[in-house]
Amino acid sequence: MSNHPNQAQAPVRPGGFGGGPPGGRGAVVPKVRAKNRMATIKRIWSYLNRQRTGLIMVYIFTILNAVVALIGPYLLGKAIDSAIIPHDYGLLVRFCIMLGGVYLLGSAVSWVQAYVMTSVSQRTVFELRRDLFAKYQELPIGFFDTRANGELMSRATNDIDNVSNSLNQSVTQLLNSLITLSGSLVIMLMLNVPLTVIALVTIPLVLLASRKITGLSRIYFKNQQQYLGELNGFIEEAISGQKVIKQYRREEAETARFRGMSSELNKVSIKAQIVSGLVGPVMNLINNLDFALIASVGGWMAFKGLATVGVIVSMLNYAKQFSRPISELANQYNLIQSAIAGAERVFEVMDMPSEYTGEQPQELQRVHGEVIFRDVVFGYQADAPILNGVSFEAKPGEKIALVGPTGAGKTTIVNLLTRFYEINSGELLIDGRDIRELNKNELRSQLGMVLQDAHVFSGTIRENIRFGRLDASDREVEEAASLANVSGFIARLPQGYDTMLGTEGTTLSHGQRQLLTIARAILADPAILILDEATSSVDTRTEMHIQQAMRTLMKGRTSFVIAHRLSTIQDADRILVIQGGQIAEQGSHEQLLALKGVYHELYNSQFKHAVQAG
């Protein structure tokens, strides 16, 4: 059976990343395009808006924060004019206390605002990530065939982190900036119109500079996300392919490739940071020019008695407050750009058609297990058929073996049975019903798979067997293990059924894993079975155990066995010899031998091989 990511265990678990083999080395990461920025922002907003109460609190505290900040300079000016210049110490002390109170209140309010905003944004990205993962579970196997696992993981981590960072800062800053801008402008106009006009002189310069810089940095940020995704894909493949890398001593070559990719990422990241980092200094320069201009003109006005010193100090402070939001907005723009780029990559996946769309829940009685393929044509790409008119029948409870050279289409045939892929033409019937009329969920609950690449999940042995049927009792789990010939081995483990498997637990041998997946399938009790005979060498005793467990499993079920050694399928009710996507021969072992055709040849060559090896 070919080693595609479409391998699942009984019962069929949709999708799931991390477990499967690499999904295409160096897979092309779809280009990140700013398709519809407004639509993306609206969509992020719709997520954010679910935290209504939190958001309202954020608004209130942000407004409070901005207003408090606006009061400070005004009080400062007043203190100079009415307390310092007339030498009124009592009033000065009162102003100082007021100012201290205002700044203290400002700090407290901004802390609460940050706290509430963090919980709102974290909750938002939690939901976004949850929905993305749920989507991954719903996508058809074909989606995973062409994408690297790491790249898909990157969308659920880095891209969503970008959204989170931006939400954390941008929502409050945007509102704050807006209030500060308009508030400062109004107060400045009230205090001194000519100085306000001077403060506004540099605004076009600020806008022009920020536009230029952010336009450039946006491109680099998008590239950065894309390269990061590719790099993640590469790392994931290099880790899952460690054995192959080591065995072929490709460590250095892989490291060199990594270095190449990583340095590309480095370059675009540096460019993105350098360009976006320009915003601060450029804005500062323009602001300082403005500050100097107001100070000079203000000083001159004070000399001429056209304005008081207090007003000028207030104006200088407001001018600073006024330009701060503009440069902050420019900075936010960068952050928002990178969040939008991330969100687009997330929504791109979310918008992929789910394989369950339009399916109505269906009460599917346990099928008898009759399977009919009639002139089935199928290709993974519509214009390149792999199966060219496959027809055969399996009666309930029959054992059907699929044999044939590698790449002939054996796995493809069983992939159609699970509806991992849809047939192009012809008919595929289960108990006389067109497979396309059956709800995939219900259909798959009738099917069990035991594959060569026996997959166990992180968790206990008990949980791994119970994966076959979640409501099974401990007793049923243990019975299944016993039928699968694995209970003796489990009993010898110090923690028995509670032994942890996976990243932090015991590592099982291939044969043991295979037996566990057989137990899982026994527990699931499917009407139709798909078995991929193990080709990897397990010791003779384990192999005997596996064969025996498989026989127990097959009893009373329609079984499709993808066989690599003809010796194990001689008792099959029917053997299908697949060649070039067609059934070259079919019949029982004896019938096929008598035909003296492809099977006969295959059998003889294996037999000779076995004799020579013996």
Ligand X SMILES: Nc1ncnc2c1ncn2[C@@H]1O[C@H](COP(=O)(O)OP(=O)(O)OP(=O)(O)O)[C@@H](O)[C@H]1O
CA distances from 528 to 8, 13, 366, 395 (A): 15, 16, 10, 11
Q: Binding of ligand X at residue 411 (CB under 6 A)?
A: yes
Minimum distance of ligand X from residue 373's CB (angstroms): 14
Binder of ligand X out of 27, 408, 481, 553 (CB under 6 A)? 408
Q: CA 114 to CA 390: how far, in whole Å? A: 64
Q: State the CB neighbour count (10 A cutoff) for residue 539.
A: 10
Binder of ligand X out of 222, 410, 469, 545 (CB under 6 A)? 410
Q: Which is nearer to ligand X, 240 or 273 (CB)?
A: 240
Q: Which is nearer to ligand X, 255 or 425 (CB)?
A: 425
Q: Which is nearer to ligand X, 187 or 414 (CB)?
A: 414
Q: Binding of ligand X at residue 18 (CB under 6 A)?
A: no
Binder of ligand X out of 1, 319, 508, 572 (CB under 6 A)? 1
Q: Which stretch binds ligand X (CB under 6 A): 217-225, 316-324, 400-408, 486-494?
A: 400-408
Q: CA 289 to CA 476: how far, in whole Å? A: 79
Q: Binding of ligand X at residue 4 (CB under 6 A)?
A: yes
Q: Are strands 558-562 and 528-532 parallel, antiparallel or unpaired?
A: parallel
Q: Binding of ligand X at residue 145 (CB under 6 A)?
A: yes
Q: Which is nearer to ligand X, 145 or 161 (CB)?
A: 145
Q: Binding of ligand X at residue 317 (CB under 6 A)?
A: no
Minimum distance of ligand X from residue 362's CB (angstroms): 27
Sign of CA dihedral 252, 254, 260, 262: negative
- Give how far the C-alpha of residue 434 lies from the chain's centroid of Cα atoms, to the nearest Å: 34
DSSP per-residue codes, 309-338:
HHHHHHHHHHHHHHHHHHHHHHHHHHHHHH
Tell me phi and psi for residue 433, to 5 degrees: -105, 140
Cβ atoms of residues 537 and 565 within 8 Å = no
Q: Which is nearer to ligand X, 4 or 147 (CB)?
A: 4
Q: Which is nearer to ligand X, 59 or 380 (CB)?
A: 380
Q: Binding of ligand X at residue 452 (CB under 6 A)?
A: no
Q: Which is nearer to ligand X, 195 or 529 (CB)?
A: 529
- Provide the mask over 329-368, with x wherever binding to ligand X is found by CB under 6 A and - wherever it is not: ----------------------------------------
Mark 501-527 as b/e (b = at least 16 C-beta within 10 Å). beeeeeebebbbbbbbbbbbbbbbbbb
Minimum distance of ligand X from residue 533's CB (angstroms): 10
Q: Which stretch binds ligand X (CB under 6 A): 84-92, 404-412, 472-480, 517-525?
A: 404-412
Let me know if 99 is exposed, middle or buried by CB neighbors in 10 A (0-12, 13-18, 19+).
middle
Q: Which is nearer to ligand X, 384 or 611 (CB)?
A: 384
| H runs (alpha helix) in 139-159 | 141-145, 149-154
Q: Name which of residues 569 to 598 contact ligand X (CB under 6 A).
A: none
Binder of ligand X out of 2, 118, 273, 506 (CB under 6 A)? 2
Q: Which is nearer to ligand X, 342 or 409 (CB)?
A: 409
Binder of ligand X out of 247, 357, 406, 536 (CB under 6 A)? 406
Q: Which is nearer to ligand X, 478 or 533 (CB)?
A: 533
Q: CA 322 to CA 320: how far, in whole Å? A: 5
Q: Which is nearer to ligand X, 117 or 408 (CB)?
A: 408
Q: Which stretch binds ligand X (CB under 6 A): 132-140, 330-338, 407-415, 508-516?
A: 407-415
Q: Binding of ligand X at residue 209 (CB under 6 A)?
A: no
Binder of ligand X out of 18, 194, 299, 407 (CB under 6 A)? 407
Q: State the CB neighbour count (10 A cutoff) for residue 256.
A: 11
The residues, ordered by sequence, that sit 6+ positions from 123 with a Cβ below 8 Å of its Cβ are 50, 51, 54
Q: Binding of ligand X at residue 469 (CB under 6 A)?
A: no
- Give how far the C-alpha of residue 13 lies from the chain's centroid of Cα atoms, to the nearest Å: 17
Q: Name which of residues 368 to 387 contact ligand X (CB under 6 A).
A: 380, 386
Count of residues interacting with ligand X (CB under 6 A): 14
Q: Which stretch binds ligand X (CB under 6 A): 1-9, 285-293, 302-310, 391-399?
A: 1-9
Residue 319 token pair = 């001018």
Tell me phi and psi for residue 457, to 5 degrees: -100, 160
* 3-class secondary structure, 55: helix
Q: Which stretch binds ligand X (CB under 6 A): 90-98, 363-371, 410-418, 506-514?
A: 410-418
Q: CA 531 to CA 537: how far, in whole Å? A: 17
Q: CA 329 to CA 336: how far, in whole Å? A: 10
3-state secondary structure 227-264: HHHHHHHHHHHHHHCHHHHHHCCCHHHHHHHHHHHHHH
- Provide the mask over 103-142, with x wherever binding to ligand X is found by CB under 6 A and - wherever it is not: ----------------------------------------
In which residue are the tokens 């005997």 written? 544
Task: Enumerate binding residues for ligand X (CB under 6 A).
Answer: 1-2, 4, 145, 380, 386, 404, 406-412
